[in-house]
C-alpha cells in the first residue's frame, strides 16, 4: 500500500533495515547526534536479538512480517508485525475467540499480530519518526488491515498499544479492548521510606516485615547494570528463567542465545537483581530500563525463601526507580497480590480487526461487556490499595 509520499513494504527480518533509522522511528526524542528510545522493547537491538537468537522465526509461532514506511528513500515509519500460528506469548488472550471461530467452520490461524513478542508492556506500536508525513500512522494501520484482506487472514491484533493508537484504531474501524495490569507510580518520592510514609500504618508495617524476612535468607542481593553485568551472570539467570518457564509455559519462550545477544547490545538498558548465598546465585529478576519506566520482565529461582520474590521483583525495583528518577514500574501481567505492595490497577489497551463480519459483531458485543467489567474491577480494586485514605494512586 502506498500514496504519493509514502510507500509501505513488508520486511521479513529487521536486519534488512537500518538500525539508526528504525530507532529514530521508535523514539519521540532525538537530535542529529542523539536518539533516546522511549522503551527498550521497540528498539532495533531488542527485536533483532529475538530474531538472531531464533526466539522468533520459523517454528516459533512468531514469523516476522514487519511493515516499513519509506519516504524519499528513508525509513520514516515501522510496525513490529508477526504472522502468528498460535496465541502463545501475547498476554491478551483470544483463545476463546479462536475456538469459537473454528467451531463455526472458520480458520483463525494464521493471524497478524502487531506486538512485542513475549512482552506485555504498554508502548507505541506504530513507530513513526518526527519528520514523517502526518498520515503515516493511519497508513501503517490501514496497510496491516489490507495485508490481512489480501492474504485472507482471519484477523489483525495490536496488543498493549498506546492510548492514542487505541483511539486511532477505533476511528479506522478496529475493535478496542480494555484490560488491566498493576503498575507502581512514583509520586515524587525521595526514597523508599518516603514512599512508605504514603501508606497506611498497617500496610507500612506489613511491607517492613516482609522485607526483613526476605533479607534474612542468609545471603546478599546484588544490583547490576551496564558493565557490571558479566557473561557468567547469564549462565545463572538462564537457570532461573528455565525454571520459571517450565512451570508457566512448559517450554521457555526465549533461547539461551537471546541473553548473549542482549548482553552484547543492551547492557546499559538492563537491570539484573540477583540473590547470592554461599557464593552461589540462587534467584534473580531481569528488568529493562526505559526513559521513564522500569520494566520487570523475568523472575526465577533455584532455591525458595519467604518473600524473596517480592523483595527482588517489587521492592528493589521501586528503590531503583526512585533513585533514578523513573516515573513508573511495570512488573508484568496479572497479579492482584501486587496491590498490597503499592502497585495500582491500570488500564491497558489493544485493537482487533476481524474480517468475518458476523463474528466481528459478536466479538464487539463481548468487548463492550468486558470493558464495563474491567472498569468496575479497577474501581473495586482501587479501594484496596495500601495508601492512606484519600491518597489512592491510579492512572
**Position 243 pLDDT exceeds 90:** no
Q: What's the mean pLDDT in 291-319?
A: 96
Q: Residues 5-25: pLDDT tens digits?
A: 899 999 999 999 999 999 999
**Position 112 pLDDT exceeds 60:** yes
The SS3 of residue 208 is helix
Q: How far is CA 221 from the centre of its chain?
A: 25
Pairing of strands 127-128, 74-79: antiparallel
Q: What's the mean pLDDT in 64-81?
A: 97
Q: What's the mean pLDDT in 25-47?
A: 77
Q: Which of 309, 250, 249 is nearest to 282 (CA)?
A: 309
Q: What's the mean pLDDT in 115-137?
A: 95
Does an H or E element contain 97, and which? helix 95-103
- Are 132 and 69 within 8 A, CB to CB? yes
**Position 393 pLDDT exceeds 70:** no
User: What are the structural domains, with CATH classification, of the chain?
Assistant: 7-180+346-383 (3.40.630.30), 187-326 (3.40.630.30)
Peptide bond connecting 150 to the previous residue in cis, omega within 30 degrees of 0: no
Q: What's the mean pLDDT in 218-232?
A: 98
* pLDDT attached to residue 395: 45
**Position 391 pLDDT exceeds 60:** no
Cell numbers linked to 239: 537457570
**Position 272 pLDDT exceeds 80:** yes
Percentage of the chain modeled with pLDDT above 70: 93
Q: What is the mean pLDDT of the chain?
A: 94
* pLDDT attached to residue 250: 62
**Position 208 pLDDT exceeds 70:** yes
* pLDDT attached to residue 261: 98
For the chain, the first-to-last Cα distance in angstroms comes to 37
Instruction: Select the more confidently predicted residue: 4 or 58.
Output: 58
**Position 237 pLDDT exceeds 60:** yes
Cell numbers linked to 264: 552484547
* pLDDT attached to residue 5: 86
**Position 30 pLDDT exceeds 70:** no
Q: Residues 158-205: pLDDT tens digits?
A: 999 999 999 999 999 999 999 999 999 999 999 999 999 999 999 999
C-alpha distances in angstroms, 369 versus 5, 90, 288, 309, 364?
41, 22, 34, 35, 9
* pLDDT attached to residue 2: 59
* pLDDT attached to residue 333: 83
**Position 394 pLDDT exceeds 80:** no
Q: Which of 295, 299, 296 is nearest to 285 (CA)?
A: 299
Least confident of 34-43, 98-107, 131-140, 336-345: 34-43
Amino acid at each position: 500500500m502506498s500514496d504519493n509520499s509514502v510507500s509501505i513494504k513488508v520486511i521479513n527480518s529487521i536486519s534488512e533495515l537500518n538500525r539508526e533509522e528504525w530507532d529514530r522511528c521508535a523514539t519521540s526524542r532525538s537530535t542529529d547526534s542523539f536518539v533516546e528510545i522511549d522503551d527498550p522493547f521497540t528498539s532495533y537491538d531488542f527485536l533483532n536479538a529475538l530474531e538472531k537468537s531464533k526466539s522468533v522465526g520459523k517454528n516459533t509461532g512468531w514469523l516476522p512480517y514487519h511493515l516499513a514506511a519509506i519516504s524519499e528513500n528513508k525509513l520514516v515509519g515501522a510496525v513490529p508485525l508477526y504472522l502468528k500460528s498460535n496465541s502463545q506469548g501475547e498476554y491478551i488472550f483470544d483463545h476463546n475467540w479462536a475456538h469459537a471461530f473454528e467451531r463455526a467452520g472458520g480458520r483463525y490461524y494464521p493471524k497478524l499480530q502487531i506486538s512485542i513478542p513475549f512482552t506485555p508492556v504498554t508502548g507505541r506500536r506504530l513507530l513513526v519518526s518526527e519528520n514523517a508525513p502526518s498520515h503515516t500512522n493511519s497508513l501503517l494501520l490501514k496497510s496491516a488491515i489490507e495485508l490481512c484482506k489480501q492474504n485472507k487472514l482471519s484477523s489483525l491484533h495490536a496488543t498493549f498499544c498506546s492510548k492514542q493508537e487505541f483511539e486511532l484504531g477505533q476511528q479506522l474501524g478496529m475493535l478496542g479492548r480494555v484490560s488491566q495490569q498493576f503498575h507502581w507510580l512514583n509520586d515524587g518520592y525521595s526514597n523508599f521510606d518516603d514512599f512508605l510514609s504514603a501508606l497506611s500504618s498497617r500496610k507500612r508495617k506489613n511491607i517492613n516485615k516482609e522485607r526483613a524476612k526476605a533479607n534474612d535468607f542468609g545471603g546478599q542481593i546484588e544490583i547490576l547494570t551496564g558493565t557490571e553485568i558479566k557473561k557468567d551472570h547469564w549462565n545463572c539467570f538462564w537457570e532461573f528463567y528455565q525454571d520459571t518457564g517450565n512451570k508457566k509455559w512448559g517450554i521457555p519462550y526465549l533461547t539461551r542465545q537471546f541473553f548473549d545477544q542482549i548482553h552484547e547490545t543492551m547492557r546499559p538498558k538492563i537491570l539484573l537483581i540477583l540473590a547470592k548465598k554461599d557464593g552461589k546465585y540462587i534467584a534473580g529478576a531481569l528488568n529493562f530500563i526505559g526513559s521513564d519506566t522500569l520494566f520487570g520482565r523475568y523472575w526465577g529461582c533455584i532455591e525458595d525463601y519467604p518473600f524473596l520474590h517480592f523483595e527482588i521483583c517489587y521492592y528493589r525495583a521501586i528503590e531503583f526507580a526512585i533513585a533514578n528518577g523513573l516515573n513508573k514500574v511495570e512488573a508484568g501481567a496479572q497479579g492482584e497480590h501486587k496491590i498490597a505492595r503499592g502497585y495500582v490497577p491500570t488500564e491497558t489497551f489493544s485493537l482487533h480487526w476481524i474480517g468475518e463480519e458476523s463474528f466481528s459483531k459478536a466479538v464487539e458485543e463481548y468487548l463492550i461487556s468486558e470493558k464495563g467489567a474491567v472498569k468496575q474491577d479497577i474501581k473495586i480494586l482501587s479501594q484496596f490499595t495500601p495508601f492512606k485514605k484519600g491518597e489512592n494512586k491510579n492512572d
